[in-house]
Amino acid sequence: MIDPVNCLVPNNLEVPVKLSEDGMLAGLTFVAKDLFDVIGHRTSNGSLDFYRQSLPSKENAAAIDKLLNSGATLLGMSICDEFFYSLTGANEYYGTPVNSLAPERLPGGSSSGSAAAVAAGLVDFSLGSDTGGSVRIPASFCGIWGVRPTLGRVNLVGARPMAPSFDTVGWFSSEGQHLSDVADVLLEGNQD
């Protein structure tokens, strides 16, 4: 995948991942914050040192599996603040993703690469995480929509924790229908 906004980790997926041709998300593409396990990928959590010591994942994170089984194609892993511990979007090791709406400004973090990819039109939607604003802030900075669901509504198995009593999976898109469709796939329990 071409990366004109520096939104992808340098040690990205070798090829896109697709598990199904059918489903609610068929034909849609996405990137995921580099805290989600993807088979064969070494998760970095935004840290080059952590990447060097990690092993390739043997399973996909639950949220990744749901999206792939619903027809979406994973194009890459996106940059995040190191260990998700900032709201700026800057990463010392990988650089700061470009905010397409305002290139002279920060994209917001910690899900900065995920927001930057959507804002640049590189993917239909993206996956991030939100503990203290890590989806809401980059969505607002980059001029796109972001969803932070209620704690416990999306399965976090295979996603690195920061503060488990606050962590949630979140997602971005510039299309309202994509936000709704991703919600239908990821949310668990009563959606009324």
Beta-carbon-side half-sphere exposure of residue 135 (alpha carbons within 13 Å): 23
d(CA 103, CA 161): 30
Assess whether 110 carries a catalytic annotation. Answer: yes
Global pTM?
Answer: 0.96
d(CA 14, CA 51): 16
Which is catalytic among the residues 112, 126, 134, 174? Answer: 134
- According to DSSP, the β-strands at 29-33 and 168-173 are unpaired
Which is catalytic among the residues 110, 112, 126, 173? Answer: 110
Tokens representing residue 153 in the block: 């509504």
pLDDT digits (tens, 9 = 90+) for 146-186: 999 999 999 999 999 999 999 999 999 999 999 999 999 99
pLDDT digits (tens, 9 = 90+) for 74-97: 999 999 999 998 999 999 999 999
Assess whether 57 carries a catalytic annotation. Answer: no
**In what order do the strands lie in the sheet containing 17-18?**
17-18, 73-78, 29-33, 125-130, 168-173, 145-147
pLDDT digits (tens, 9 = 90+) for 111-137: 999 999 999 999 999 999 999 999 999
d(CA 61, CA 75): 15
pLDDT for res 51: 96
